[in-house]
């Protein structure tokens, strides 16, 4: 009888452990277990156990409360704290306050007018003395807690004060964690005050922050972080730093199978590759060959179905983290090599079958060479399919404020990363907007950010490139000028689980009118039966990839017969000068204007602009131009013919000059305007810009 009862009890316990949702005992979560989880690629492909939520505290503008209200896009995203406390006669600003059991998994921060005297304090489990204390930049990016690459600032090409500061050291806590900041330099403290878009935050220190954290279910055992843990788990810390620094692909203990393939895709063709068995795709290597490789990266699509469920659809380039340019970059999940080889390292499990399909939506022949590497996989009730969505916001006007949907996922799964490839026609910053991530039908997003560049780990709109295993900007030329930008953010322990639904919105707006092509790609895992609401963008993959502003905005007369200076095409410059669209404040204008500025122009130099004319004829042209300093004598040519031999502007003349060009013959199509520096008082070079050209056709009358 005793034996029978013991076997029954054993059977019941075994079944309870196997059933989902049972309250089973897990090992204690520590700094060490979280570090090991960070480099375990397979853990993302299984729904978390023990379960947790991931949320965010940030300094977002607290007046953003209702999507229908104008303040939803409020932008004073700094110095907004939970409350102010007095601790030991210190004014401490509370920026994080969460009940445990939990773990802090990411900190991002940046400052303006940082005076280096502030103190960041971590109070664990309601203790009155801080367990971590120090200058914020030393703790977050300076390596005081842990070394690179888990503690770092970007871009290293940017000046230190303009960097985003990042800490990926997991900080577990058993009962509670509070983080405060003490700084007398913060003159105005907004403790969740309501204020309008024009609120002035003084001239003191300005603090922006985002903190992501996990909260486990009650009963999960978590060992609270102690400074001694850095020594206790030093071996695991060093192993983790080494793996992440080298983007370890975690193949050491796997039995791998690799299959090579070569596919030829004529326009409109598609090719399939089928894999069978209970396996996981561990590495996908692709290399495209085409006359126009950049267009092929966008117009060649990868589609994937796992066990009959399609979860991946998007351009090969965007899916692989390259966008539509080959720029070498090595991150935790993807790699782009100088020779154009693309590698993807997401773990993609399937129970019975995986079908990869490559489709050519372009108008050129494309050849794909590749390798697929798989390993064995034990499918269970936690296993999930990998997915990725993509679409393009083509010629979006960012002055019209909106929340664009990066992705919406229905079902149970985990959000693990995203990126954006864009071409911005504006001379200024494109990404004022904040991320807003809703989990399981939240009415208000539990992730509300402080700016697009902050979300991607850098700061202050900086264009300098950076490559880190978890965040990257291979190119940022479109950040403060018309140009191309690629941003990426990949998640490990900061991945976001959801049970029913995840919605990711990104604010899209700009201080001035700007036109942009903007294409977000997202990465996620989802249980069988779940789905993504982003539909395949067949039109978007066929769009011409953009490298020049005039591909989106052509230099042609508008309804007022005006061509803006910034729309002109610079076809040639002699000398050492350069040209770029430059936002410029003018004393007689209420707002800044965009000028196509010729920088460092010297005597003898010449610049030539191209513009379009739809109707050939003779025109009077009004040229509104601008110089910054000194006197100058200019000569003007249209289509290589002198139309104004000389025009002098004195040193004390009004900065904006209206210059009249009379009876100018223009041909249909492209015409050229050339400006020569005949003489200049500034030997070091002057700055000369064009505001606009206005045309009035001259109609001849014959007797």
Q: Got the DSSP string for 88-155?
A: TTEEEEEEEEEESSEEEEEEEEEEES--S--EEEEEETT-SS-SEEE-HHHHHTSSSSS-TTTEEEE-
Helix (H, G, I), strand (E, B) or coil at 162: helix
User: Rounded to an integer, what distance in angstroms lies between the CA atom of residue 451 and that of residue 440?
Assistant: 23
Are 294 and 545 contacting, i.e. CB atoms less than 8 angstroms apart?
yes
In whole angstroms, how large is the CA radius of gyration of the chain? Answer: 29
Q: What is the pLDDT of residues 495-545, one digit of tens each?
A: 999 999 999 999 998 777 778 999 999 999 999 999 999 999 999 999 999
Identify the weakest region by mean pLDDT among 116-120, 376-380, 681-685.
681-685
Are 656 and 621 contacting, i.e. CB atoms less than 8 angstroms apart?
no
Q: How many CB atoms lie within 10 A of CB 144?
A: 15
Identify the weakest region by mean pLDDT among 145-149, 322-326, 429-433, 531-535.
429-433
Helix (H, G, I), strand (E, B) or coil at 357: strand
| Cis upstream peptide for 675 (omega within 30°) | no
Instruction: Using the predicted structure, report yes or no on whether residue 629 has a pLDDT greater than 90.
Output: no
Are 19 and 13 contacting, i.e. CB atoms less than 8 angstroms apart?
no
Beta bridge partners of 675: 607, 636
pLDDT band at 633; cut points 50, 70, 90: very high
Beta bridge partners of 106: 212
Are 541 and 301 contacting, i.e. CB atoms less than 8 angstroms apart?
yes
Residue 25 CA, distance from chain mean position:
39
Closest Cα to residue 549, out of 599, 481, 497? 481
CA 197-201-203 angle, 5° bins: 145
List alpha helices for 246-368, DSSP H. Answer: 293-299, 316-319
What pLDDT is attached to residue 654?
64
What pLDDT is attached to residue 441?
86
Instruction: Using the predicted structure, report yes or no on whether residue 547 has a pLDDT greater than 70.
Output: yes
User: Rounded to an integer, what distance in angstroms lies between the CA atom of residue 122 and that of residue 171?
Assistant: 10
Give all domains of the chain, ordered by start, each with its CATH number: 49-245 (2.60.120.1390), 257-550 (2.60.120.1390), 554-697 (2.60.120.260)
CA 287-293-297 angle, 5° bins: 70
What pLDDT is attached to residue 587?
67
What pLDDT is attached to residue 627?
87
> Do you know the residue count of the chain?
703
Average pLDDT of span 236-257 = 95
Are 694 and 622 contacting, i.e. CB atoms less than 8 angstroms apart?
yes
Are 222 and 174 contacting, i.e. CB atoms less than 8 angstroms apart?
yes
pLDDT band at 480; cut points 50, 70, 90: confident
Q: Are strands 496-498 and 413-424 parallel, antiparallel or unpaired?
A: antiparallel
Between the CA atoms of 589, 593, 597 and 603, what dihedral angle is there, to the nearest 10 degrees? Answer: -10
pLDDT band at 199; cut points 50, 70, 90: very low
3-state DSSP of 609-641: EEEEECCCEEEEEEEEEEECCCCEEEEEEECCE
CA atoms within 13 A on the CB side of 287: 11
Identify the weakest region by mean pLDDT among 64-78, 102-116, 614-628.
64-78
User: Rounded to an integer, what distance in angstroms lies between the CA atom of residue 489 and that of residue 476?
Assistant: 15
Average pLDDT of span 244-263 = 95
Q: Comparing 72 with 39, which gets the higher pLDDT?
A: 39
Find the helix or strand (DSSP H, E) in which 454 lies: helix 452-455
Instruction: Using the predicted structure, report yes or no on whether residue 198 has a pLDDT greater than 70.
Output: no
Find the helix or strand (DSSP H, E) in which 689 lies: strand 686-697
Q: What is the DSSP letter of 46?
A: B
pLDDT band at 103; cut points 50, 70, 90: very high
User: Rounded to an integer, what distance in angstroms lies between the CA atom of residue 406 and that of residue 243?
Assistant: 30
What pLDDT is attached to residue 401?
87
What pLDDT is attached to residue 15?
42
């Amino acid at each position: 009888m005793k034996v029978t009862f013991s076997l029954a009890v054993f059977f019941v316990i075994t079944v309870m452990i196997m059933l989902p949702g049972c309250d089973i005992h897990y090992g204690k979560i520590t700094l060490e277990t979280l570090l090991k989880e960070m480099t375990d690629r397979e853990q993302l492909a299984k729904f978390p156990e023990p379960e947790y939520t991931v949320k965010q505290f940030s300094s977002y503008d607290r007046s953003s409360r209702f999507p229908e209200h104008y303040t939803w896009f409020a932008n004073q995203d700094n110095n907004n704290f939970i409350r102010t406390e007095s601790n030991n006669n210190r004014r401490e600003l509370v920026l994080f306050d969460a009940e445990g059991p939990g773990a802090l998994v990411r900190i991002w921060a940046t400052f303006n007018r940082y005076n280096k005297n502030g103190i960041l304090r971590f109070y664990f489990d309601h203790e009155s003395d801080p367990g971590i204390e120090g200058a914020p930049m030393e703790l977050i990016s300076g390596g005081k807690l842990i070394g690179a690459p888990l503690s770092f600032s970007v871009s290293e090409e940017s000046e230190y004060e303009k960097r985003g500061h990042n800490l990926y050291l997991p900080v577990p806590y058993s009962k509670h964690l509070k983080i405060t900041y003490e700084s007398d330099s913060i003159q105005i403290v907004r403790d969740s005050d309501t204020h309008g878009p024009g609120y002035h935050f003084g001239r003191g220190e300005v603090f922006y922050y985002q903190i992501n954290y996990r909260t486990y279910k009650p009963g999960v055992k978590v060992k609270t972080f102690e400074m001694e843990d850095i020594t206790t788990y030093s071996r695991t810390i060093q192993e983790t730093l080494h793996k992440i620094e080298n983007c370890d692909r975690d193949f050491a203990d796997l039995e791998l199978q690799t299959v090579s393939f070569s596919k030829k895709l004529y326009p409109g063709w598609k090719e399939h590759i089928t894999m069978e068995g209970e396996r996981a795709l561990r590495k996908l290597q692709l290399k495209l060959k085409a006359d126009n490789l950049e267009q092929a990266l966008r117009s060649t699509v990868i589609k994937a179905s796992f066990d009959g469920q399609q979860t991946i659809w998007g351009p090969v380039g965007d899916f692989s983290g390259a966008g539509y340019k080959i720029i070498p970059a090595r991150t935790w999940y993807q790699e782009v090599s100088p020779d154009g080889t693309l590698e993807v390292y997401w773990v993609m499990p399937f129970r019975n079958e995986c079908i990869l399909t490559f489709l050519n939506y372009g108008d050129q022949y494309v050849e794909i060479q590749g390798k697929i590497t798989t390993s064995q996989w034990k499918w269970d009730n936690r296993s999930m399919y990998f997915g990725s969505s993509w679409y393009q916001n083509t010629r979006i006007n960012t002055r019209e404020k909106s929340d664009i949907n990066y992705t919406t996922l229905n079902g149970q799964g985990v959000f693990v990363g995203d990126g954006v490839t864009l071409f911005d026609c504006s001379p200024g910053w494109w990404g004022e907007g904040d991320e807003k991530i809703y989990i399981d039908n939240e009415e208000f997003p539990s992730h509300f950010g402080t700016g697009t560049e902050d979300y991607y780990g850098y700061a202050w709109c900086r264009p300098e490139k950076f490559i880190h295993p978890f965040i990257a900007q291979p190119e940022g030329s479109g950040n403060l000028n018309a140009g191309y930008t690629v941003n990426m953010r990949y998640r490990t322990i900061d991945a976001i689980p959801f049970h029913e639904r995840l919605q990711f919105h990104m604010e899209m707006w700009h201080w001035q009118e700007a036109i942009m092509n903007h294409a977000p790609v997202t990465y996620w895992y989802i249980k069988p039966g779940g789905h993504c609401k982003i539909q395949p963008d067949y039109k978007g993959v066929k769009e011409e990839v953009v490298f020049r502003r005039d591909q989106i905005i052509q230099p042609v007369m508008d309804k007022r017969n005006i061509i803006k200076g910034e729309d002109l095409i610079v076809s040639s410059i002699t000398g050492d000068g350069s040209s770029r669209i430059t936002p410029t404040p003018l004393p007689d204008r209420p707002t800044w204007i965009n000028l196509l500025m010729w920088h460092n122009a010297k005597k003898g130099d010449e610049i030539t602009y191209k513009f379009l004319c739809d109707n050939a004829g003779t025109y009077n042209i009004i040229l509104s131009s601008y110089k910054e300093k000194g006197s100058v004598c200019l000569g003007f040519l249209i289509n290589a013919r002198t139309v104004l031999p000389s025009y002098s502007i004195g040193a004390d003349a009004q900065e904006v000059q209206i210059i009249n060009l009379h009876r100018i013959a223009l041909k249909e199509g492209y015409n050229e305007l050339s400006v020569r520096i005949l003489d200049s008082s500034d030997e070091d070079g002057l700055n000369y810009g064009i505001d606009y050209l206005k045309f009035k056709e001259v109609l001849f009358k014959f007797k």
